[in-house]
Structure 1
Amino acid sequence: MPVTLATCSLNQWALDFEGNRDRIIESIRLAKAQGAVMRTGPELEVTGYGCLDHFLEQDTYFHSWQIMGEILVHPDCQDILIDVGMPITYRNVRYNCRVVAYNKEILMIRPKMWLANDGNYREMRYFTPWPRRLQVKFILPELIQQLTGQVTTKMGIAKIEVANHFCVGFETCEELFTPQSPHLEMALDGVDIITNSSGSHHELRKLDTRLNLIIEATRKCGGVYLYANQRGCDGDRLYYDGSAMIVMNGQVLAQGSQFSLKDVEVITATVDLEQVKSYRSSPSFGMQCSLSTELETVEAEKLLTDLKAKQIDRLDTPTTQARPVHLHTPEEEIALGPACWLWDYLRRCRAAGYFVPLSGGIDSCATAVIVYSMCRLVVKEAAEGNKQVIENARRLAQKEEPWIPTDPKEFCGMIFHTCYMGTVNSSQETQERAKALAQDIGAYHTNMMIDLAVKAIIQVFVFVTNKTPKFRVHGGSDRENLALQNIQARLRMVFAYLFAQLLPWVRGIPGSLLVLGSANVDESLRGYLTKYDCSSADVNPIGGISKTDLRKFIGWAGTEFEMPILQTFIDATPTAELEPITETYVQSDEADMGMTYEELSVFGRLRKIQKFGPYSTFVHLCHEWKHLAPKVVAEKVKRFFYFYAINRHKMTVITPAYHAEQYSPDDNRFDLRPFLIRPFSWAFAQIDQVVEKRKTD
């Protein structure tokens, strides 16, 4: 029997009950318009996935039922099987659930069995896993009883059966990633259509892992797999990257976009379920079916009656054909993911735009180019008639109908502000690069030297202490040298917030700007930044991206965005420009750190992803870095872990950053390590013993 099925990506926002409701209803309306008999949506779509500790509040559950009630009785939500995600309490215990309904009747509530509880996820803090075989009678809230007349429904792990037409089973996000995924049992029990409702975030190079699992789920067992995912910034560091998908028998039939400014995206596919039966006809599959345990069954009698009345003919209904999977390159992911995240953040906080201190280095350059990429996406969506984007763009640009943004540079000049803050230690080259980049992307650019402010602060110190600090190149100590650098860095943060608040006033624009940080993940990991310097900002689009990937992104953007100026940023030596330049000395970031950015990325992955301490890291790198003597490897390892330990406190106040890497050092969210750490003296001693032993062997 041919059936048309729908799944979607929705840009839901934590606790935006009205907006979330409207996007859910719109997705159901679009699914029906495309002839779908069933629609599934993202995980916890009623509340938004990222509510965090708001899931501990009883109000969240009360309001969720209120919204669910409005969805159940809405005219656009009839005559289609709907699968909606929301949190539910049963006997005072909180569960992450799917609510499956048809024509105002809740057929069943399917709670999540396996919860995501690592990395960015803390579901065990908010929810309890559902006991695998428990089936209960759930008494619906009084407000639902009054709306629909239904008093109870089933809650537990079950399948929806529509006689011999088709059978539907349900997975939720993490359950796909577990060794014994529920879809295996469901396939052996004759379930034709399996849904997965997800709240999966973007990381560089991650999507192919997710897609392979989805494809493999049906390649081995057959069947149709509907994958739904949240999209957008849910009010925190994550960007949920959509990519809704429909797969049948190991082949992709439909794939939604990974990055988009569309709040609602629905994809559909028409499938012939006879093909599922044929795919599962092998003897070994049949033998395993005979040994499997049957799931509880819920009959969808009203849906069956309606389907029989339609009598869909296989010959008259063309089915959706397989298509190739689309994956973005990492450079495209950097251009699109943080740009979409910045747009969501800007439109939802209702600021006047963004401000970034543009230093002439590659990090602030990458931040600025990502903002320009955001402006390109806005223009593209406006050209396609995206009403939500056009409305937000008009508000930001202070324009009235019928104006729409048509030029990324023009729009960038309306909402993006940059400033070069130089000192006597800055070079003419960085100043010119910053100015040229601002011109190329259309940013409103200002330029100033902050030496007077630096001198004023030093003079106050001299007046109080009668001591004059000097740079190292002028005979000063390391402490004096560092303090003089930090004055410049911290003053840039102060000026950044001053300009962010007053530049809109200067231009006659209401509101203030959000300050963007531009410290990359490697520098944060090493602590190679000044606490409360211009890395301290409102949000940071590159804080989870490595220097290596940023350089590749800038190289890609130079060609893709037709901006030759970007090559000069790649060719320049990374430098903070906080120390005086002499004939024999020019400050270099990598020289200061005692390691390259590529080496920092290696340390980051070994520390976080492989969970290696100093000793294991040393042993591993002795094999990997065979071009270096063990003594040199030991020095690099000890240097990294020493500075990681003494600078860990900086992560407690680091700017909230777009999460893009598995080795993010984001404190108290992704990297749960203390910020006062003894610098690994015991481990370092063990490393030294190995090095000494190698000398004598």
Structure 2
Amino acid sequence: MPKIAIAAGVLNQVPLDWKGNHARIISLIQEAQQKQAGILCLPELCLTGYGCEDQFLNAHTSEKAWEYLLQLLPHTQHILVWVGLPIFFEDKLYNVAACLANEKLIALIPKQHLANDGVHYETRWFNPWPAHKRSFISTSLGDIPIGDYRIHADGISIGIEICQDAWEGENRPAHSLAQRGVSVICSPTASHFAFAKSKTRQRLAIEGSNIIQGAYVFANVLGNESGRTIFDGDAYLVHQGQILAESKRFSFKDSQLIIASVDISSETSTGEDLLQADVDWPKPSEYPNFEGATWEHSGNIKEEEFARAVSLGLWDYVRKSHSFGWVISLSGGADSSAIATLCYLAVKLAYKELGWEGVQAKMAYIPWITDIASEKDFMAKILTTAYQGTENSSDQTRASAKALAESIGTTHYDWNIDVLVKEYRGIIEKAIGRTLSWEQDDITLQNVQARLRSPSVWMLANINNALLLATSNRSEASVGYATMDGDTSGSISPIAGIDKTFIRQWLIWMEKEGLDGAWHLSGLSHVNTLEPSAELRPLTSKQVDEEDLMPYPILNAIERWAFFDKLSPAACLQNLIQEYGSHFTEEQLTVFCSRFFRLWARNQWKRERYAPGFHVDDYSLDPKSWLRFPILSAGLEKDIKP
């Protein structure tokens, strides 16, 4: 019964970053070798990056991946490594895990089941490989086996499940591999973050181990790899249903390695699907017991996951775009306050994990980084906020913005744009020959204020070579309650995938408790006392978002029923009556439901133009990655019987 060390590595890669991706892979292989690992599993498509999109269809992408795969071979002495890349075979493209062992390429094992729901469009690029199909591909190294193979090395039989393969229930390859005598399964994965999804991945790893009564090695992608999706970077080593080690999710490092020693039943296997790899397992060391992060067992796990995922997403986005920081139009309301808080957390978490030298190394491209002496100075330099008031802005929101900026330590500006509003108003009034009024021109007069905040804050972003962050949330996006080229302006929209109700709850949690029960922000006390308002009408009108629209919990419920559960408008209305009938009349609920679907259909064009947003929930409204809807349609509110 051989005792070997199995290892899983997570990687924060960049699509098409050939040299960088290659270097990070070599670094992990070397770390695994130093720790006497016998088997190392790396994430899916880690050579190219998972998020290459239509560049996968370019033959150059697979050619470069092959070139860099061959350069890995000399680095695989005395270890068996799984590396992911795209491979063209018989005029079709496959998502492949390459088995490298002792400086040789042993086999290319393609993915059998492709992810093609939600944010995944793998069938656009790849082809599923049929189970039990085996062949050979002609390469510069000679004919290399490609297909549904097992690898046999020093008495151990090893199989592969690539990401979606493990989600297929009775059809997952693990069942077939168990019948064929496999005692180790490696699972290269690129499974994006969504709330509570890591528990499902963990369960699948445990089930895979139980199916084969052996070891299961699971390795996922880390960080904001390509813009919209964030990856947890979770890895699990499981033996006979017991977790031996797991990574710490949402790391700010380039990579993580977890390792554990296991006793594997030695066997002499045969069969045409069995390939021999010449590896003598190194004698494993003694590895410390892993300690999971305390926050993973928090009663506020959704709040913790949101904070850590989006903070990492923002950190990766700013450094991978080679920007010098973030700029936020800080209105004093919930949305912009949440985004400023997330930027603050990104810096705090990076400092905690990387230290100042590590932060400097990540941001070495910024000219002023060597002049920074403290974390406080860095925060003031990397994050800039601006309150842009009008005569319709309240003292309360101005105080809210100022208190948060001071609490975080941003460079904060406060200016008034009334002169610009009056100038534009005057130009139009002169052109059309009449005075604009709130009774006749309500939307026009609201929008001009929001829109005129954009040029100034864009100037700040350009001056600082920074990312302007859009401040619209998912609830607003669903009904178009946002000014195009106003609060939708930005390079990235961090909270576009999250609803307003949760944002408000999260801000209260961040004020009172905070990350890990310790990192909280007293500067949020002002915003948490305010009723959400656009503050675009005269203050005497007492404008409130939920009076303009409907209560946010109702809006969020209709949205989920309609576009996640795919219910008809009539069914959504019946659900509303059942759940909220004790608080609202049927007539009121009918008005809410009809209003939602009318505004939804009318504002698809806005959703088409929003800045890219992070995917954090199990669904989103992003028409470029999750939910397509016609820009022009007859609408859906007509389907509700009054």
TM-score category, normalised to shorter length = over 0.9
C-alpha distance 327-176 of structure 1, shift in aligned 2 (>3 A): farther
Letter in 1 for 2:458: Y
Tell me, what secondary structure is at the counterpart of 1:97?
strand
Q: 2:385 aligns with which of 405, 410, 418?
A: 418
Shift of 1:463: 1.1
Match of 2:257 in 1: 266
Shift of 1:212: 2.0
1:388-413 deviation line (CA, Å, top 9, x unaligned): x331345437143xx77752x33210
Tell me, what secondary structure is at the counterpart of 2:531?
coil
1:430-458 deviation line (CA, Å, top 9, x unaligned): 11111111111110111100000000000
Q: 2:497 aligned with 1:518, yes or no?
A: no
Shift of 1:64: 0.6
- What CA RMSD, in Å, does the superposition of the two structures yield over aligned residues? 2.2
Q: 1:9, 1:230 within 8 Å by CA — same for their partners in 2?
A: yes
Distance 1:27 1:552 in 2: 39
* Bigger relative contact order (CA 8 A; separation at least 6): 2
Match of 2:346 in 1: 374
C-alpha distance 192-133 of structure 1, shift in aligned 2 (>3 A): same
For structure 1, the residue ranges without an aligned partner over 5 or more in a row are 146-150, 278-292, 505-511, 689-697
Q: 2:288 aligned with 1:331, yes or no?
A: no
Q: 2:372, 2:378 within 8 Å by CA — same for their partners in 1?
A: no
Distance 1:111 1:317 in 2: 32
Match of 1:617 in 2: 572
Distance 2:637 2:593 in 1: 12
Tell me, what secondary structure is at the counterpart of 1:137?
strand
Distance 1:324 1:399 in 2: 33
Match of 1:282 in 2: none
Q: What pairs up with 1:141-156 in 2 under 5 angstroms?
A: 142=140, 145=141, 151-156=142-147
C-alpha distance 5-385 of structure 1, shift in aligned 2 (>3 A): farther
Q: Which moved more, 1:117-126 or 1:322-331?
A: 322-331
Match of 1:568 in 2: 526
Tell me, what secondary structure is at the counterpart of 1:591?
helix
Shift of 1:461: 0.4
C-alpha distance 166-406 of structure 1, shift in aligned 2 (>3 A): farther
Match of 2:164 in 1: 174
Q: 2:184 aligns with which of 169, 176, 193?
A: 193
Q: 2:329 aligns with which of 343, 348, 357?
A: 357
Tell me, what secondary structure is at the counterpart of 1:8?
strand
Q: 2:47, 2:69 within 8 Å by CA — same for their partners in 1?
A: yes
Match of 1:48 in 2: 49
Shift of 1:370: 0.4
1:244-277 deviation line (CA, Å, top 9, x unaligned): 1111122211111210111011111111125x99
Q: 1:445 aligns with which of 386, 389, 412?
A: 412
Distance 2:570 2:609 in 1: 29
Given the two structures, how large is their TM-score scaled by the length of structure 2?
0.94
Match of 1:542 in 2: 495
C-alpha distance 663-441 of structure 1, shift in aligned 2 (>3 A): same
C-alpha distance 234-394 of structure 1, shift in aligned 2 (>3 A): closer
Q: What pairs up with 1:480-519 in 2 under 5 angstroms?
A: 480-502=441-463, 504=464, 512-519=465-472
Q: 1:252, 1:324 within 8 Å by CA — same for their partners in 2?
A: no
Match of 2:245 in 1: 254
C-alpha distance 500-417 of structure 1, shift in aligned 2 (>3 A): same
Shift of 1:608: 2.2
Letter in 2 for 1:615: A
Letter in 2 for 1:483: T
Match of 1:95 in 2: 94
Q: Which moved more, 1:253-262 or 1:611-620?
A: 611-620
Q: Which moved more, 1:562-571 or 1:100-109?
A: 562-571
Q: 1:226 aligns with which of 193, 201, 217?
A: 217
Shift of 1:338: 1.2
Shift of 1:72: 1.2
C-alpha distance 569-466 of structure 1, shift in aligned 2 (>3 A): same
Shift of 1:295: 7.2
Q: What count of residue pairs does the alignment treat as equivalent?
A: 629
Q: 1:430 aligns with which of 391, 394, 397?
A: 397
Distance 2:311 2:373 in 1: 17
Distance 1:72 1:405 in 2: 43
Q: 1:353, 1:396 within 8 Å by CA — same for their partners in 2?
A: no
Given the two structures, how large is their TM-score scaled by the length of structure 1?
0.86
Letter in 2 for 1:661: D
Shift of 1:240: 1.3
Q: 1:219, 1:250 within 8 Å by CA — same for their partners in 2?
A: yes
Letter in 2 for 1:540: S
Tell me, what secondary structure is at the counterpart of 1:47?
coil
Q: 2:425 aligns with which of 458, 475, 479?
A: 458
Match of 1:119 in 2: 118
C-alpha distance 296-573 of structure 1, shift in aligned 2 (>3 A): farther
Q: 2:118, 2:619 within 8 Å by CA — same for their partners in 1?
A: no
Distance 1:186 1:404 in 2: 55
Shift of 1:663: 3.4
Letter in 1 for 2:273: T
Q: 2:230 aligns with which of 217, 222, 239?
A: 239
Shift of 1:205: 2.6
Q: Which has the larger radius of gyration?
A: 1
Ranges of 4+ aligned residues in structure 1 off by more than 4 Å: 293-296, 316-325, 403-406
Shift of 1:650: 0.6
Q: 1:397, 1:415 within 8 Å by CA — same for their partners in 2?
A: no
1:346-382 deviation line (CA, Å, top 9, x unaligned): 1122122110000000100000000000110221133
Match of 2:603 in 1: 647
Q: 1:134, 1:156 within 8 Å by CA — same for their partners in 2?
A: yes
Shift of 1:499: 2.0
Match of 2:59 in 1: 58
Q: 2:361 aligned with 1:391, yes or no?
A: yes
Q: 2:98, 2:105 within 8 Å by CA — same for their partners in 1?
A: yes
1:552-585 deviation line (CA, Å, top 9, x unaligned): 2212222333422212211210000000011xx3
Q: 1:519, 1:543 within 8 Å by CA — same for their partners in 2?
A: yes
Letter in 2 for 1:82: V
Distance 1:492 1:295 in 2: 69
Match of 1:284 in 2: none
Match of 1:104 in 2: 103
Letter in 1 for 2:50: Y
Shift of 1:541: 1.3
Q: 2:470, 2:491 within 8 Å by CA — same for their partners in 1?
A: yes
Letter in 2 for 1:84: V
Q: What pairs up with 1:277-356 in 2 under 5 angstroms?
A: 296-303=272-279, 306-307=280-281, 326=296, 329-356=301-328
Q: 2:389, 2:416 within 8 Å by CA — same for their partners in 1?
A: yes
C-alpha distance 365-324 of structure 1, shift in aligned 2 (>3 A): closer
Tell me, what secondary structure is at the counterpart of 1:420?
strand
Q: 2:436 aligns with which of 460, 469, 474?
A: 469
Q: What pairs up with 1:577-656 in 2 under 5 angstroms?
A: 577-582=535-540, 585-593=541-549, 595-627=550-582, 628-656=584-612
Distance 2:203 2:479 in 1: 34
Tell me, what secondary structure is at the counterpart of 1:39?
strand
For structure 2, the residue ranges without an aligned partner over 5 or more in a row are none
C-alpha distance 678-262 of structure 1, shift in aligned 2 (>3 A): same
Match of 1:659 in 2: 615
C-alpha distance 317-34 of structure 1, shift in aligned 2 (>3 A): closer
